[in-house]
Amino acid sequence: MIENVGWSGLVAETNRPVALVTGAATGIGRAIVESLARGGYDLAVNYSRSEDAARETARLAEATGAATVLIRADVSEEADVIAMIAAVERRFGGRLDLLVNNAGVTSDVPPNKFDTMTVGDFDRVFAVNVRGTFLVVKHATRLLKAMPQACIVNTASIVGLRPGPQPLPYSSSKAAIISMTRTLAGALGPTIRVNAVAPGWLEGDWMERTLGDNYERLMERRAKATPLKRNARVEDVGAAVLTLATQLMFTSGQTVVIDGGYSFVS
């Protein structure tokens, strides 16, 4: 199922580059949209369930002068993805310069209790995080290849590189995203650059849910052990995505860790 809201149906007539950000309603996705809008992009804002939050994300982008389209789609469903890419094509006259695969879900089963997890719970995480990334890249590539300097940025995680407190299917799916990023960089070059961002411990709701009552204590301890003396923020991720898209034009196949240096000194 797909629903387009937030635009008149007219093709956006601007010279701004166009980005599609999946999972853009809140958190990292919203920060990426805001960063790209300030950086001169028009935005396709994808969401799955949180329509009110996604509308607010689009409003924040539009406040910078960006044209937007708001698209409801489950990235794990191929029919939804096909319709989403068609909506982007209609809205922006076939232009797509940047794809940010940020949509993701997790489980609430801690890693040390992985043997209590249902197969359905495990499969849903991989369906959204891994199959969803594959499907969106598969169907967006046609538009990206038409651009002279297109770019894909995938949202991975530090737990895709080293153990952490995240559930088993989540960390495993992010490791798969890092591997997929490298493979796609080879498959899509030289026309399309493909990189990933791997945030460390992020301030906010995601880590608060993961760490529970220990959130404040553990986040403070992590910040003290970090060379830059704080934890990552969603705005840091947004800035990294914009930099990969607009500045690092000879960078592909890389995973940029955003954790203030913690993982390299601990």
Q: How many CB atoms lie within 10 A of CB 188?
A: 19
Predicted local distance difference test score (pLDDT) of residue 215: 87
Predicted local distance difference test score (pLDDT) of residue 1: 41
CA distances from 113 to 42, 116, 125, 169 (A): 43, 6, 16, 12
Structure confidence by residue, pLDDT tens digits, 16-33: 999 999 999 999 999 999
Domains and CATH numbers, the chain: 3-265 (3.40.50.720)
Cα dihedral angle (138, 246, 87, 14), rounded to 10 degrees?
A: -150
Structure confidence by residue, pLDDT tens digits, 64-110: 999 999 999 999 999 999 999 999 999 999 999 999 999 999 998 99
Terminal alpha carbon distance of the chain: 45
Main-chain dihedrals φ then ψ at residue 152, nearest 5 degrees: -120, 135
Return d(Cα 203, Cα 219) in angstroms, integer: 8
CA distances from 44 to 4, 66, 115, 173, 223 (A): 10, 10, 39, 25, 34
pLDDT of residue 122 exceeding 60, the answer is yes
Structure confidence by residue, pLDDT tens digits, 230-265: 999 999 999 999 999 999 999 999 999 999 999 988
Just list the catalytic residues: 170
- Given a contact cutoff of 8 angstroms between Cβ atoms, the answer to whether 98 and 153 are in contact is yes
Structure confidence by residue, pLDDT tens digits, 158-200: 999 998 888 999 999 999 999 999 999 999 999 999 999 999 9
Contacts of 150 (CB under 8 A, 6+ apart): 96, 97, 98, 99, 144, 191, 192, 193
Predicted local distance difference test score (pLDDT) of residue 209: 78
pTM, to two decimals: 0.94
Give every strand in the sheet of 255-258, ordered side by side. 3-5, 68-72, 42-47, 18-21, 98-101, 150-155, 192-199, 255-258
Structure confidence by residue, pLDDT tens digits, 195-227: 999 999 889 887 887 778 888 998 899 999 999
- Given a contact cutoff of 8 angstroms between Cβ atoms, the answer to whether 126 and 135 are in contact is no
User: What does pLDDT average to over the chain?
Assistant: 94
Task: Quote the distance between the C-alpha of residue 239 and its chain's center.
Answer: 13
Predicted local distance difference test score (pLDDT) of residue 164: 84
